[in-house]
Structure 1
Amino acid sequence: MNLVSKIKKEWFIVGMLCAIALATVSENIGKTDGIIHLDQLTGIGVAIVFFLHGLGLSPQAIRAGISNWRLHIFIQSATFVAYPALWLLLGKGFTAVLPMALALGFCYLFVLPSTISSSVAMTSVGKGNVPGAIFNASLSSILGVFLTPLLIQLFMGFEGLQLDLAQSVMSIGKLLLLPMVAGQLLRPLLVAYVERHKSVVNKIDKYVIILIVYNAFCDSVAQHIWSDFSLPLLLLCIAACCVVLLIMVHIIQWSARKVGFARPDEVAAVFCGTKKTLAAGVPMAKVIFGADPNLGMILLPIMLYHPLQIFYCAMLANRYAAQHNAANTAISSEA
C-alpha cells in the first residue's frame, strides 16, 4: 500500500518513466507523423496549457507585484544572466565529456525561463512574496520566448548549430504567448469555471508533457539514437544536474541576503530564480530543434533537472516555513 500511495503521489515522474519505456517498444505509434500523429496532438495540448496559464494569472496579483523592481531585476538576472554565465564557465567541460546532443541539452537547460506553477507554489509554502513570484514567473515565460532561442544561437552557433532566429521567436510566440494572452482576455468569462475544476485543470500541463516526452523518445528510438547511450553516462548527467542546482540555489540565497532582501523576497528569489521550466521547455525544444532525431537526448537534462529541483526546493520551502513559524512564535512569546 505504501508503494501504491507513493506512485499516486509521484504519478508525473512515474508517467514520464513509463512514456520512455513505452517508446522503446512502440515507436511507430508515437513518433512524428506516426500512426496517431502525436506531434500534432501535443501542439494543440501546449496551446491549451498556456491558455489556462493566462486564465489563471490574476491582474490584481500582477499589480501587487509590479512595483518591486529590485526583486524583478534580481530574479530575471538569475534566470537569464547567471545561468548562462555558468554555461560560459562550464560549457567547454560539458562539450568535452558528453556527446554533442547531451551537451546541447545542458546548454538548453541553462537558457530556459523559470517555471510558473511550481515557483509560485514553493514560494507560498515557504511564506514568501507570492505576488512577486507570480509576476516574475510570468515575466520569465514571456522573456523566454525571445531570449531562449537567442541565447541558444549565441552559445551553440559556435558548435555548428544554425537557427532561423526570427522564425523560432515567431513560432514560440504563437505556441506560448498568444494562447496566454487569449486566456487573459477571456479570464472574466471563464475564471469561475476553471476555479471550480481546478483539480483537473492543474494536471493538464503534466499530461501534455508526458505525451511530448513519449513523442520525443519514439522519434529517438526510431532513429536508433540510444544505441550508444550507457548507464555511466546517465549517472554523470544526474550528477551534473545536482551540482548545477546546488550551485545556483546557494549563490542566489547568498546574493539575496547580500543585497538586503527581506525573507519573503529572498524566498521568491530562490524559487523563481533557480527553477527551469519543463512545461514550456519541451514544446519550445520542438520548435527550436525541429524534427531533430536527437531531441530525446537534448531534452534529457531538463527531464532530469525537473524532478531534482522539485524535490530539493520542496525541502527548502519546508525549511523556510519552519523558520517563519519559529520567528512568529518567538514574537508571540515576547509579546
Structure 2
Amino acid sequence: MKSLARFLPDRFTLMLIGTVTLASLLPAQGRVAAGMETLTTAAIAALFFLHGARLSREAVLAGVGHWRLHLLVLASTFVLFPLLGLALKPLLQPLVTPTLYTGVLYLCVLPSTVQSSIALTAMARGNVPAAVCSASASTLLGVLLTPVLVNLLVVPGHHADASLDAIGRILLQLMVPFVAGHLLRPWVGGFVQRNAKMLKWVDQGSILLVVYTAFSAAVVKGLWHQLPLSALIAVAVVSALLLALALGVTNTIAKRLGFSIEDRIAIVFCGSKKSVASGVPMANVLFPASAVGPIVLPVMLYHQIQLMVCAVLAQRYARRAEPALADGAAAAAPRTA
C-alpha cells in the first residue's frame, strides 16, 4: 500500500482538480469575476511576501559560493528546457491545439520550484544549502527571464504581453512583495516560522484562486469545447518525456563534471523542476484571461508528474546512501573493539 501511495496525487493536486471542476461547472462571471481578480492579485502579493519572509539570508549565503552547481541548474532551467520544448514541436503540433503547445513552451521557460526542490534534496541526503540557493536564484531570475523567453518563443497569434510594461507589473506584483517580506524578516520571520502550517494555506489558497479565476474566464470562452481528450493525453505524455530528459541530462552532465553525489542530487532536483507557484501568477499577467486556463494546463500536469517521479527517485537516492553508512559503521566496529 505504501508503494502505491507514492503514485497517488497529493492533497494539493486534488484541490487543483477540484478547483478546475468548480470553475467548469460554476465559472465566475461579470462582477464576481472582477472581484475574484482583485482578490487574486492581493493573494499573490501575500504569497510572495511570505516567500520573502521565510527565506533565510544565512541559508542563501551558505550555498551562494557553489557557482558551478548554480550555473548548471540555471542552464538546465532556462536553456535546456526551452531547447527541448522547441525540439518537440514536430511531435506536439499535430497532437495538440496551438494554445496547448504555447502552454508547453511556457512550461519550459518557467523557473524552478523552491519548496519541493529543497524538500526532495533533503530527503535524498543531498546538498541542501546549495539547493536553497539554486532554487531561490532560479525563482528570482525567473521574474525577469521568463517574460523575455516567452516573448522569444511564444507561438505567434497568442499575444503574450512580455513587454517592459508586463515585466514591470510582474516586478510590482511578485518581486516587490518578496523583497518587502525579506527586509521585514527580522520582525515577521519568527511569526512566519511559528505559523508555517497555517500560512501554508495562504500559499496554496492563492494558487487555487488564480486557477479558479483563469479557468472561469477560459470556460466562459468555451475552453472544454476546444480541447480534445487526445490533446490532453499528448500533453501528459510530453510532460513525462520532458521530465525524463531533464533528469537524465542533468545527472549525466553533473557526473561528467565530477560533482559529488550530494551535489548531483541538488542539481537533478533543482534543474528538473518547474514552479506552479510562479508560473500561474505570471501567466495571469502575460496572457489574455481567456488563454490562461489552457496555457497553465501543461504546468499543472507537469507539477503532478514531477512530484510523483522525484519522490520515488529521492527515496531511491536515500536507500543507496544507507548501505554505505552501514558498511562504514561495520568496518569501524572491529577497530574500536
Question: What TM-score, normalized to structure 2?
Answer: 0.92
For structure 1, the 5+ residue unaligned runs are none
Q: Percent identity?
A: 36
- 1:133-282, aligned counterparts within 5 Å? 133-156=131-154, 158=156, 161=159, 163-282=161-280
Q: Is the 8 A contact 1:32 1:38 kept in 2?
A: no
Which of residues 99, 108, 123 is equivalent to 2:106? 108
Q: Is the 8 A contact 1:153 1:161 kept in 2?
A: no
Letter paired with 1:333: A
Residue aligning to 2:328: 331
The secondary structure found in structure 2 opposite 1:294 is helix
Give the Cα–Cα distance (whole angstroms) in 1 for the partners of residues 324 and 35 of structure 2. 55
Partners of 1:229 and 1:35 in 2: CA distance: 23
CA contact (8 A) 1:125 1:318 kept: yes
Distance 1:32 1:140 in 2: 37
Q: For 2:305, give the aligned amino acid.
A: L
In structure 2, do the counterparts of structure 1 residues 212 and 252 end up closer, same or farther at CA, with 3 Å as the change threshold? same
Count of matched residue positions in the alignment of Structure 1 and Structure 2:
328
The residue aligned with 1:21 is: 21
Report the Cα offset of residue 167 of structure 1: 1.2
Q: Distance in 1 between matches of 2:193 and 2:259?
A: 33
Task: Quote the RMSD (CA, aligned, Å).
Answer: 2.0
Moved more, 161-170 or 18-27: 161-170
Distance (whole Å) between structure 2 residues aligned to residue 272 and residue 242 of structure 1: 17
For residue 65 of structure 2, give the secondary structure of its aligned residue in structure 1.
Answer: coil
Answer whether contact 2:135 2:270 (CA < 8 A) is retained.
yes
Cα distance in 2 for partners of 1:252, 1:272 equals 10
**Per-residue deviation at 1:194?**
1.3
Alignment partners' CA distance in 2, 1:244 and 1:33: 40
- The CA distance in 1 between the partners of 2:104 and 2:94, in whole Å, is 13
1:312-331 correspondence to structure 2 within 5 Å: 312-331=309-328
Residue 290 of structure 1: how far off its partner (Å)? 3.4
| AA at the equivalent of 1:151 | L
> Does structure 2 conserve the Cα–Cα contact (< 8 Å) formed by 1:31 and 1:38?
no
Name the counterpart of 1:311. 308
> Cα distance, 1:228 vs. partner?
2.9
Q: Quick one: which of 122, 125, 128 aligns to 2:123?
A: 125
> Which segments of 5 or more consecutive residues in structure 2 lack a partner in the other structure?
333-337
Name the structure 1 match of 2:69: 71
Shift of 1:95: 3.0
Q: Give the alignment's TM-score, normalised by structure 1.
A: 0.93
Contact 2:19 2:208 in 1 (8 A): yes
State how far apart, in whole Å, the 2-side matches of 1:200 and 1:101 are.
Answer: 36
Secondary structure of the 1:163 match is coil
SS in 1 for 2:203: helix
- Which letter does structure 2 place at the counterpart of 1:321? A
Question: Alignment partner of 1:84: what SS?
Answer: helix
Confirm or deny: 8 A CA contact 2:63 2:133 kept in the other structure.
yes
Counterpart contact for 2:98–2:155, Cα < 8 Å = no
- Tell me, in whole angstroms, the C-alpha distance in 1 between the residues paired with 2:9 and 2:152: 40
Quick check: 301-310 or 11-20, which moved more? Answer: 11-20
SS in 1 for 2:282: helix
Contact 2:169–2:285 (CA<8 Å) still a contact in 1?
yes
Between the aligned partners of 1:44 and 1:92, the Cα distance in structure 2 is: 40
What is the DSSP-based 3-state SS (H/G/I as helix, E as strand, rest coil) of the residue aligned with 2:125?
A: coil
Distance 1:160 1:22 in 2: 26
1:81 is matched with which residue? 79
Equivalent of residue 42 in structure 2, options 41, 44, 54: 44
Shift of 1:10: 2.6
The 3-state SS of whatever aligns with 1:75 is helix
Aligned residue for 2:287? 289
Cα gap change, 1:318 to 1:303, in 2 (>3 Å): same
